Amino acid sequence: MELKADKLITPDEISIVVNRLLTAYHPNTKSIYLFGSYAWGNPNEDSDLDIMVVLKEAQQNPHKRVVKGYKALRGIMTPTDLIVYTEEEYKKLLKDEFSLCNHIVKEGKKLYEC
């Protein structure tokens, strides 16, 4: 079942998502970025939040890292797509000018940095 927003997501709802993710990954969070329609300034009622989290180090395999983030977002009705990289993965991806990670850093909005 796909979760869709019936209205635009508010800045307060974005803050709730960020705070939940910071709590879930504490103290390992390096940065959090918003990308997609909310970052580009053209969201609509069908838009979800697109979030990239960068962790200082790998404490779990890639799948478990993402699952941990989604578990932290349980109970809130903000549809969210989540990408989670380690700092090592992030730095490697930044070297590829065509990577999604590179695009997010250049065009997205940084919501948190440690």
pLDDT score of 24 more than 80? yes
Work out the pLDDT band at 60, boundaries 50, 70, 90: confident
Q: What pLDDT score was predicted for residue 77?
A: 86
What does pTM read for this prediction? 0.90
Nearest to 70 by CA among 44, 78, 29, 93: 78
Mean pLDDT of the chain: 93
Nearest to 69 by CA among 52, 56, 57: 52
Specify the fold of 11-113.
Beta Polymerase; domain 2 (3.30.460)
Residue keyed to tokens 């979030």: 51
pLDDT score of 67 more than 50? yes
pLDDT score of 76 more than 50? yes
The arithmetic mean of pLDDT across residues 81-103, rounded, is 97
Among 17-21, 73-77, 103-107, the least confident range: 73-77
CB 66, CB 82: distance < 8 Å:
yes
The arithmetic mean of pLDDT across residues 64-71, rounded, is 97
pLDDT score of 1 more than 70? no
Domain locations along the chain = 11-113
Work out the pLDDT band at 59, boundaries 50, 70, 90: confident
